[in-house]
Each structure stands twice: as structure tokens, then as C-alpha cells.
Structure 1
Amino acid sequence: MRALKYRLCFSLLLCTPLILLAQPDTVWTRTFGGTQGDICYSVQRTQDGGYIMAGETRSSGAGGRDFWLVKTTSVGSMQWNRTYGGAQDETCYAVHQASDGGYVLVGRTNSFRPGSWNGWVVRTNASGDTMWTRVFGGSQPDAFYSVAQGPGGFFWAAGYTYSYGLAGDYWLVQLSTFGDSITTHTYGGNRSEVCNKILIENDYMYLVGSTESYGQGQTGLPDYWLLKVSWLGDSVWSRPYGEDRSDVCTSIAAGDSGSLILGGYTESSGAGRADFWVIRTDSMGYLWNERTFGRTGQDYCQAVMQVAPNRIQVAGTTEYTAAGGNNGWLLEMDNNLDTLWNRQVGGASVDEIYAMVSSMDGTILTGGTWSFGSGQQDFWLVKIAAPVTLFEVTPIFLNFGEVPVGYSATRSLTLRNAGNMPVTVLNLVTVPPFSSEFSSGFVLNGNEQTSFTVFFQPAQAGEYIDTLWVEHSTATSPTAVYVSGTGIMSDADEPDQNLPQRFALSAAYPNPFNAETVLTFDVPHAAPVRVAIYDVQGQLTKTIADGMLPAGSHRLHWNGSAFASGIYFVRAQSDGFSAARKIVLLK
């Protein structure tokens, strides 16, 4: 494919952070291990609400390294653990809870056959007791990196093989519930390919990893490779992504609107020697958007998931720390891949994140830590709290009182984001004779608020009671605001000594402003009024008011969060009067 020549790179330097939101808190951390090295590569939320962790241990077991399976409660307390292995070395790269509550583990072994590494599958019951094990492969290096269960209860193990295929290929093996090989497939070209993850979605399988045979990749300099496969193992289509240096895809998740989200790392572009690289594609694998995230060192993304509509999380390891070691790194972004917040976890030594899973109220990260625990490196389980979203609308009752037919009255409605997570205000839905100045959606960041003018302009006499709906991106959307007013017939207004004596447009306040300013327009008698915002080219930007206003001093709010910084002009017109004021929007 054509090289991706232009990328958006976000350098998240600690000295100049881009994140403007409060970061979610670490709820708890847990370590598990002995005196030697123990590393967790996979985690899944279990049917009972706890977690299952899998990786390798050198602290216990039969050989140098063994599969290690650790079961915890929902708060990370160990319930039981099991080791599996032979006299040599085994490494478990993935665990999946089967539909019957047991577990299937995949990885590699060199204990049971002469020669190099082989793929190894271990099946257990819900208590971790071994039901069966199977070795797959030939005389060359082979390994499984990912596993999933498909329709019919079959297991699909994915990884790489040098024993079969052309020259190191994606390797996909279908197993029965008893561990028998049903089908075996390889995918690749004349150079090396490594599959890191399998996703089953919408009756197809998606394999991701790296290729040196396709795209811009060269020997030793791979590209991302996404492959769609049918249940028969046939390749439906494949897509490479990358440039002229190493680009390795480590994870995949299903996203909104049929999209696919790929996470990994790139050495082709970005701020450092290696950066997180996140790609979002359509259902056919064609690129929608992509972005790199990194600092000046090496940053490796190992996991990606869609946690909610328009919310994506990626996790891995960052080299840029104040102490000079590695730390875990979690970022959340929207579907445009704009960063919402990031969180760094770890201590003064080397701490790495390899997998994550969503909990009911946060995110679970897992990997290996040298900073904490009892050994050289221990299993590490970290819970990060879900970001707080508190969206407030005040007041929830707007009473306009009595308004003469053909005239209008205004009230102010305040929208406030009291949490630390951005909220998108999508719409203000009104029914005539109620209306608002809302024109298009915008984002309220944490602890920000804005106000809108709501109008009541009865066309005939009578009592009006209705509901205004504020639509937003939180789970509590929409929010109801109850509006009421009475239209009355009146031949003339009662004289009021406090009414303005002439039309006047006062200076906006604040000015310059960030996001919102208030415009005050004096109307000496009921009259048609038009107040609008124009850019420096004289193009209409937004109409603030356009209709009959009763006599009085009217405060009109303009929220400029959806507009670019710069100079704008407010122009007010009414009954032969015209005036303009300059306002400056600074972000």
C-alpha cells in the first residue's frame, strides 16, 4: 500500500503535558511472585467478576520457566495459582476463559520434543486443574501468542510458525473441545510474518501482527498486517500499514460503527525511537485515522480496547520516566484519536504493562514489576478508577411568566461538567414556542461550564408547559429541563421607569474570553432584534438572537468553544439602530 507519509504525532512530554483533565486514580495494586522472575502477559475478567492472569514463572514449577496461572477476586486477592510445564522452558502468552468456566492457555515449550520451540496448549477446569495438553509444531521455532473460542466451542490458537508455510508465517490452528487439531492454516509471503493477536467478530476472525513480505516492510523492518479470515480458514482480505522502518501491531479491538482499532508501535515516525501507533479502520480495513503517541524514549503499546462509545483505551510501556526506568502507560482517546487523559503507573525501577481488561468501574492493567513485590520481577495487577463524569444542568425548571403574544422572554440555562472526563453536548431539543441559541455540538472539559439563552415567544394566548431535552455523551443523557410560560393579549406595555431609554450594545464581558462571553443589549421598547457574530472576513458565524424582544436589558451568551481562536465582531440591529463590538476568543 502507499506509505503513510503524514501522521499526527502527539509528544506527551512530562515537562509540557497536553492533558488538561484530572487523571483517574489508582484504586489498588497487587503483586504475585517468588524470588525469581515472574511476568504476566495476559489477563481476562472471569465469569465470577474476578480476574485470571497468565504468564511465566521462574520462581516455581518443574523447569527453568513454566506457565503460571493466577486466579484473583474482584479486588485482586489471590484465590489460587497453578504452574504447568516440563523440564525445560515454557512461556504462556494468552489465557481465555472457556464457555464452561474453565481456561485454555497458549504459548510455547521446548520441554516435550527435541529441537526448537513448539506451540503448546493447556486446557484446565474452573479450578485450574489440567484437563489436557497438546504440543503443535515441527523442527523449527513455532509458538502461539493468542487464543479465542468460536462458535461450536472450538478454540482458535494463533501465532507464528517456521516449520510450515514459506518463511515464517502467521499460524492459525483450530482445536476441538478435546484438543484435537481440526484445521491448520498459514498465511504469509517470502519473508517473515508474526501473528500477535486474534479477534473473533461478526462471524469472522481478524489476525494482526507484523509482516516483512508486504507493504513497505523490509527484512528485519516489519509493517502492521491485518488479515480477515473465514471460519474455513480462507483469507478474505489483508491490509498492511506502515512506512520504511519497524512497525509492529500487537493488539486489535472492535470499535464503534463496525470499525477496527489496531494498537502497536512504530519506529517510522513519532517523537522518540519508538512510539505508540493507533490505527482506526472501517470494516474493510481501509484507514479512517491514525496517530502516534510518545515521548523522547521508547514507548511500546501492547493492548487496545473500546471501553464505551467514542472512548478508546491503549496501554503499554513508556521509557520516559523521572527515575530513568520504564513505567506502565495508559491513555484514553475518542474516536478521532484525540487524547482525553493519560495515566503513568510504576515505581523507580522497570515496570511494564502487557495486557489490560475493562472492569465494571475502571481498567485493569497487568504486566511485570521490578519496583514492587518480592522478587526480581513479579506479576503485577493494577486497577485504575474509571474517570468521573458528572454532568449538571441548572435550573431544571424555567418559568417565563406572562409574555405578550408576539413578544419573547429569555432565561439562562447553565450546563456544567463537574467531573474529570470530557462531555460532548450534542443538542438542545426544544418545541415551539420555546427555542434556544444552541446551533452545534461542542465539548465541555472537566470542571468547565457554559450558559445558553432559552427563548419563549408565544404566538397566541394560553398556557404552555413542555420539556427541553439536553442531549450529551454521558450515560444519563438526555437531561430534562421543564419549561413553562403563559402567552397573554396586551394592547400596550405598562410604562417602567427602569427600562432603557435607548438602544445600546454594551462591551462584551469577559473580553478577551475563553469559551464564553456575555453580550448585553438594551431595548427601550418591544422591537424586532437581530444580534449576530461575524468573523474578520465578514462571514456570519452565529446568530445569537433574531426575533421580537420586549423592552429591557437582555444578557445574551455566546459559547465559542466550537470556533477557532481569533477576532470576531458582534453586530446588533433593531428598529433603525445598528452597532458593532470587537471580541477576541483565546483558547
Structure 2
Amino acid sequence: MESERIKIGKVVLFGILLLALVFVSVGCANGAITPRAWERTFGGDGYDLAYSVLETSDGGYLFAGKTSSYGAGYDDAWLIKTDSNGTEQWNKTYGGVGYDGAYSVLQASDGGYVFAGYLADDAWLVKTDSYGTEQWNKTYGGIYGDSAKSLIKTSDSGYIFAGYTNSYSFGKPDFWVVRTDSNGTELWNKTYGGTSFDYANAVQKTSDGGYIIAGSTRSYGAGSYDAWLIKEKTELPVCNINTGKNYSKIQDAIDDSETKERHIIAVDAGTYFEHVVVYKSITLRGVNIPVLNAGGIGSAITVTANGCIIEGFNVTGSGSNYADAGIKVNSNNNEIKNNIAYLNNNYGIYLSGSSDSLLANNTALKNYYGIRLDNSFNNILTNNAANFNDYGIDLAFSSNNTLFITLPIQTTYVELESGE
């Protein structure tokens, strides 16, 4: 009896399995289980990789990566364009004789493409036309290893890429976000991280107008490496507090017709590459010490309006012409306070023909002149540190200025008129 039950059970089980196979066959025939549409391989006898792919506006596909089978160097950045069936239409390589690659690609508004990656030890953006012909390329970074891993378009047709930097970190790689205009010119960059290894791998826009960055960190968290997510409130880090409007550049905020006298413009932390001219009586306030880099030409900040407040900036990279400075003031009744003037080729802070202004709690380091007053009168200088400059504080052809010195100060060269 027991053996009969076992036989019946086996028959029932066989029937269930057979019925399942029939349903699968019918399902396949009716399209319920879709087979693979197609697959393709691309490359030669070397090491060829694809890191990013997109559907193009003509219904085809484009992928970005790197190749050692083709190109000029050990590895070259690589774009391949296909039709909707994966048939290759063109492929192009980009780079030099070293190790180069593309990690992220998107289609530009003109139908061309932009990819982000690395050129040797620099982060790299390349713009092409719709056939892959290069239109421009820009590199970003310093003397150590920097790379772009992920790329998005901004609301004003510029770009933001996320990656990592060794050049601007605290000794080990940091998260790095760089904002450019539509031609790849850097507008600002930001770093995030601690004392260990931190890598940003992805960036995306968010519905509130900001962006979010994802990657890994050894500086924070519970383990050896932890996932790390950072949300930024806006892709536009300059804000007019009075109007609520946001901008990508400091000068744009000043130039806006809605920016009036006594307005406050706040600038988030980051590095900005501008020559800012303050010709309205406003407060320009840095939040968490943004860096304003003049790029070796002219002055980082020039104040021509009366009654301005400039505070909380690290100004650097001014030119070497006579009047170039980190902060240059050609007006009266201003407050220049809580700034750092560092590595300027001429003056850190320079007052020329300026009267009745306050310089307070500023630090001038490693400039040619730390602080210079030229034909300036009735100013107050208090709690300013000027060290490791070629010349510390220089009071030239100026009178009736008051100095309160409570910090170490370098005064190896001082030119004084009577009344100082």
C-alpha cells in the first residue's frame, strides 16, 4: 500500500513539472518571457572597458570608457557610438601617451557629448560634436592625483562633476565637486573629507534644485570603509540674503539689478576663480572661509564703492603688477575684517587713496607685502597679523592712521609719514 502511494506521488509530481514546462513554453510563445534583444562586444586584444552608457537622441547608444587596444597611450579615453541595434557607427579615442580614461558621459544640448574622466593625474572634461570630434577639453586639479568620476548638467547649461582630489585634500584623497560653465571654465570647487581616504563616485541633481553626492569614506563611519552620502542645498552657492536669489558666480550676484545698497551677499565655502569688483555698497560675506583665487592676474577683490563690508574670505593668487592685491580698496568708510590674504604675488591687502576704513582681524601670510596703505588717511588697523611676507605692514605716504597691534607682526619694512 505504501509503495502504491509513493508511485502515485511520483506520477503527480511528474505531472506538475510537465504542466509547468507547458506554461513556460506557452508564456515564451506569447511573449511573457522576453529573450535578449541583442548583445555586442567591442575592442581589440588589449584591455578595453566601458564605464558609462546613454541612449542618444537618435535612438542609438553611446558608451564611454578606456581602451589599451587603440589610441596613442597606454590607456586612452574611448567613445563608441552605435545605432539602435548596437551596430557601431563610429569610435574615437582621446588622450596622450600616458594613462587616460572616461568614467561618465552625457549628451549636450547641441547634440554633442561631454565626458568626464582623467588625463594622467588631472581630472578631465572633453566636449565633442555629434560625431565625436573634439571641440574643447579642460583639465582640473593640481600636482597630485585628481579624477572626475561622475558628471551632470546644471540648470544654466554648465556642468558639475564629482570625483576625488589629492591636490587639495588633507594628505589623502577627499570628495571633490567642481562646477563649470558651458565651456568647461571652472567656476568653483568644493572638497569634503577627513584625514583618511574619501572618494566620490556619483553625483545627481535633486528635485529641490540641489545635488547629492555618493561615495566611500574611511574618515567617518563605523568600519574600514563606509558608504557616504552628502546632500547640497543648491548647485548655485552664492546667495543674496535680501532677495533670496542664488547665483553660480559672485560677480553675477553683484551685477544683478535686484541687488541694492545694503544688501548682503553670502558665499558658501569652496574655491572660486573670479576677479570680483564691488561697486555697490553691500556686505560680501564668506561662509566657512571660501577661497577666491585670482589665478595670477589682477586682484581677487576690488572695492570701489564706499561703505562696504568684506569679511570671511581667503584671497589668493593675485597678479604681480603694481596695484594687484588679494583685496584692493580704492574707496572710503569700508570694513575689511576676518579675511586671510595668502600667497599673493604683490599685496595681501592694499588700501590706495582710502580713508576712514577699518581693517580688523585679518591675516596676511606669504605675500610680497602683507598689508599696504598708500596715500590713505584716518584708517584704523586692529588685530591684524602679517607674517612670513617679504614685507609686513607698509604705511606709505599716509597719515593719521591708528594701529592696534596685539598679534605677532612682521615689520621689517615700514615707510611712515608724520601722524602715524
The TM-score with structure 1 as length reference comes to 0.37
Residue 186 (structure 2) pairs with residue 339 (structure 1): yes
Partner of 1:356: 203
CA distance in 1, matches of 2:137, 2:32: 39
How many residues are aligned here? Answer: 237
Counterpart code for 2:44? G
Partner of 2:41 in structure 1?
Answer: 186
What is the aligned counterpart of 1:231 among 64, 84, 88?
84
**How has the CA–CA distance of structure 1 residues 371 and 447 changed in structure 2, closer, same or farther, with 3 Å as cutoff?**
same
Q: Which amino acid aligns with 1:348?
A: T
2:86 pairs with 1:240? no
Give the alignment of 1:272-311 within 5 angstroms: 274-311=121-158
Q: In structure 2, list runs of 5 or more residues that go unmatched.
A: 1-30, 257-272, 281-298, 306-420
Give the SS at the match of 2:150. Answer: strand
Counterpart amino acid of residue 205 in structure 1: Y
The amino acid that maps onto 1:258 is G
Amino acid at match of 1:295: G
Secondary structure at the aligned position of 1:186 is classed as coil
Q: Deviations over 1:92-115 (max 9, x none)?
A: xxxxxxxxxxxxxxxxxxxxxxxx
After superposition, the Cα gap between the structure-2 partners of 1:206 and 1:350, relative to the gap in structure 1 and judged at 3 Å, is same
User: Is residue 250 of structure 1 aligned with residue 103 of structure 2?
Assistant: yes
Deviation >6 Å, runs of 4+: 391-394, 444-447, 512-518
Q: CA deviation at 1:320?
A: 3.3
Q: CA deviation at 1:179?
A: 6.7
Distance 1:323 1:392 in 2: 32
Taking the aligned partners of 2:56 and 2:172, their CA distance within structure 1 comes to 38
Cα offset for 1:232? 1.0
- Does residue 370 (structure 1) correspond to residue 370 (structure 2)? The answer is no
Q: Distance in 2 between matches of 1:371 and 1:188?
A: 38
Q: Which residue of 1 aligns with 2:50?
A: 195
| 2:230 paired residue among 382, 396, 404 | 382
The 2-side partners of 1:516 and 1:323 are apart by: 33
Name the aligned partner's letter for residue 216 of structure 1: A
Residue in structure 2 matched with residue 93 of structure 1 by the alignment? none
The verdict on how the C-alpha distance between 1:424 and 1:295 changes in structure 2, with shifts beyond 3 A counting, is: same
> What does the per-residue CA deviation read over 1:397-455, in whole Å, with 9 as the maximum and x for residues that have no partner?
xxxxxxxxxxxxxxxxxxxx985635669x99xxxxxxxxxxxxxxx96975558xxxx
- Bigger fraction of residues in strand: 1
Deviation digits for residues 460-508 of structure 1, max 9, x if unmatched? Answer: xxxxxxxxxxxxxxxxxxxxxxxxxxxxxxxxxxxxxxxxxxxxxxxxx
Offset at residue 338 of structure 1 (A): 1.0
Residue of 69, 72, 76 corresponding to 1:213: 69
Q: 1:423 to 1:204 in 2, by over 3 A?
A: farther
**Structure 2 Cα separation of the partners of residues 310 and 450 of structure 1:** 28
Which AA in structure 2 matches 1:294? G
| CA shift for structure 1 position 189 | 2.5
The DSSP-based 3-state class of the residue aligned with 1:184 is coil
Q: Distance in 2 between matches of 1:422 and 1:281?
A: 29
SS across alignment from 1:245: coil
Preserved CA contact (<8 Å) 2:251 2:277: no
3-state secondary structure, aligned to 2:203: strand
**Partner in structure 1 of residue 172 of structure 2:** 325
CA gap of 1:393–1:282, structure 2 versus 1, over 3 A, is farther
**Bigger relative contact order (CA 8 A; separation at least 6):** 1
Whole-Å separation in 2 of the counterparts to 1:335 and 1:421: 13
Q: Is the 8 A contact 2:180 2:186 kept in 1?
A: yes
Question: Per the alignment, do residues 422 and 290 of structure 1 end up closer, same or farther by CA in structure 2, a change over 3 Å counting?
Answer: farther
Q: How far does residue 196 in structure 1 lie from its aligned partner after superposition? A: 0.8
RMSD: 3.5
Please list the CA deviations of residues 222-263 of structure 1 after superposition, one character each: whole Å capped at 9, or x if unmatched.
101111111111111111111111111111012232231111
CA 1:327–1:515 in 2, change beyond 3 Å: closer, same or farther? closer
Partner SS state of residue 110, structure 2:
helix
Residue type at the aligned position of 1:318: T
Q: Distance in 2 between matches of 1:354 and 1:293?
A: 17
Equivalent-residue separation in structure 2 for 1:234 and 1:277 (angstroms): 28
Aligned to 1:37: none
Partner of 1:266: 119
Segments of structure 1 that go 5 or more residues without pairing to the other structure are 1-175, 268-273, 395-416, 429-443, 452-511, 519-587
8 Å CA contact retained: 2:275, 2:301: no
| TM-score normalised to structure 2 length | 0.50
Contact 2:60 / 2:85 at 8 angstroms: preserved in 1? no
1:144-202 CA-to-partner distances (Å, cap 9, x unmatched) read xxxxxxxxxxxxxxxxxxxxxxxxxxxxxxxx995742211011223231111101120
Specify the SS of the correspondent of 2:39: strand
Q: Judging changes above 3 Å, is the alpha-carbon distance between structure 1 residues 299 and 516 closer, same or farther for their aligned structure 2 residues? A: closer
Indicate the structure with greater helix content: 2
